[in-house]
Amino acid sequence: MAMVSRKSGMKLLFGLGLVALLLSWVDWRAGARMLLAANPWLLLVNGFLFLLALWVAALRWRVLLRPQGLNPALGELFKVYWIGAFANNFLPSNIGGDLARVGWVRHYRDTAAILASVVAERTAGFFVLLACAMAGVVAHPQLLPTGELYAAFWALALLALVVLGGVLAGAEPLARRLARSSGAGVGWRGKLVHGMTRLAKAALCYRNRHAALAGACGFSLLYYLLGFAAQYTYARALHLPLTFWEVAAVTPLIYLISLLPVSFNALGIAESACVFFYLQVGLRGEEALALAFLARFVQMVYSLGGGCFLLFDKSKPLPPDRFGGP
């Protein structure tokens, strides 16, 4: 427990250190004046986009739960996703929100089936996000201002695709081998093998579910397009001279870098990436930092709805007829 607390403290200090470095580098007073002059009506539009994105994410998750024999109420998944968005404020990267979602519904049905659906969902989302980032760099090569950065991006992107392809190719044989395992053993090793066996059996249901996987990718694309639109509304609220396509090119790169689980909710990481990439399309440092801070603040405010569910929702574990169990 002490080691976990130490790691959490280091991640928090790392994120705060990056924020402090940015504040010392840019004119934060000018950025603060821009934030005070932001158009509040566009921020209300962003609230609608936030809720719509959660709804699309819930649809994506349900598409991947159905092969597991689950047909949950869409409103229930929407609530659980909102709780995950709230949890992301206090946990490393988006992984924290995923763990919160699994933990919230684990009492309702087989945890292995739910975890398998979340892994499949994140795999589809990462593939779509990487494709969007690659398209953005092709359309705006100035985002990576030096030849070394440009080459490194494409090397890492292609490596990620190769690794992802290799994992997917080897996942079914590994899952079949684990599924044939008895899971016998004692102690934590036996529990680990048993858990992996259950997860492998649950994952095997996707091997011929091409329509479900394609649907998950389609919903992922819509989800990210809504995210790009949300970022564009922040830019318009701050009166920044950005086009939607510039925002659509920059945002996937910020999202990718924010996946690094080195600080709470990518604190400092997302802001640094935002400043770096928007500098390449003509913004000043204080403009980019104001955009980053506005996005973080508004998303935190709208995610508080998930915290309200945690505090005031006293509902018991769902019966099978509501979460789709047999």
Which pLDDT score, from 0 to 100, does residue 117 have? 86
Are the C-beta atoms of residues 199 and 116 closer than 8 Å to each other? yes
Are the C-beta atoms of residues 126 and 134 closer than 8 Å to each other? no
Which pLDDT score, from 0 to 100, does residue 272 have? 92
Kindly report the average pLDDT of the chain as a whole number: 82
Are the C-beta atoms of residues 257 and 267 closer than 8 Å to each other? no
Highest mean pLDDT range out of 113-117, 251-255, 317-321?
Answer: 251-255
Q: Which residues contact 49 (CB under 8 A, 6 or more apart)?
A: 226, 229, 230, 233
Q: Which residue would you say has higher pLDDT here, 200 or 25?
A: 25
The structure tokens listed for 4 are 């976990």
Separation CA 294–CA 274 (nearest Å): 12
Separation CA 136–CA 155 (nearest Å): 16
Which pLDDT score, from 0 to 100, does residue 106 have? 58
Separation CA 165–CA 121 (nearest Å): 16
Query: 226: which strand partners?
Result: none
Are the C-beta atoms of residues 133 and 253 closer than 8 Å to each other? yes
Asked whether the CA dihedral 225, 228, 234, 236 is positive or negative, the reply is negative
Specify the range with the lowest mean pLDDT, choosing from 67-81, 122-136, 229-243, 290-304. 67-81
Q: What values do phi and psi take at 244, rounded to 5?
A: -60, -40
Are the C-beta atoms of residues 98 and 191 closer than 8 Å to each other? no
Are the C-beta atoms of residues 70 and 222 closer than 8 Å to each other? no
Separation CA 85–CA 83 (nearest Å): 5
Q: Choose among 307, 308, 294, 310: nearest CA to 46.
A: 294
Tell me: pLDDT of 295 over 90. yes
* pTM summary value: 0.86
Which pLDDT score, from 0 to 100, does residue 172 have? 64
- AA identity, residue 184: A
- AA identity, residue 11: K
Q: How far apart are the first and last CA of the chain?
A: 39
Q: Choose among 44, 27, 13, 24: nearest CA to 237.
A: 44
Q: How many C-beta atoms lie closer than 10 Å to residue 15's C-beta?
A: 22
Q: Choose among 307, 316, 251: nearest CA to 84.
A: 307
Q: Which residues contact 323 (CB under 8 A, 6 or more apart)?
A: 70, 72, 73, 76, 105, 108, 109
Specify the range with the lowest mean pLDDT, choosing from 84-93, 153-162, 175-184, 201-210. 175-184
Which pLDDT score, from 0 to 100, does residue 186 have? 52
- AA identity, residue 198: R
Which pLDDT score, from 0 to 100, does residue 321 have? 43
Mean pLDDT of 172-198: 61
The structure tokens listed for 193 are 């093998």
Q: Choose among 277, 275, 253, 303: nearest CA to 31.
A: 275
Specify the range with the lowest mean pLDDT, choosing from 15-19, 21-25, 166-170, 319-323. 319-323
95 in helix, strand or coil? helix
Separation CA 216–CA 138 (nearest Å): 25
Domain boundaries, the chain: 18-217+232-274+293-320
Local confidence band at 51 (pLDDT 50, 70, 90 cut-offs): very high
Mean pLDDT of 170-196: 60
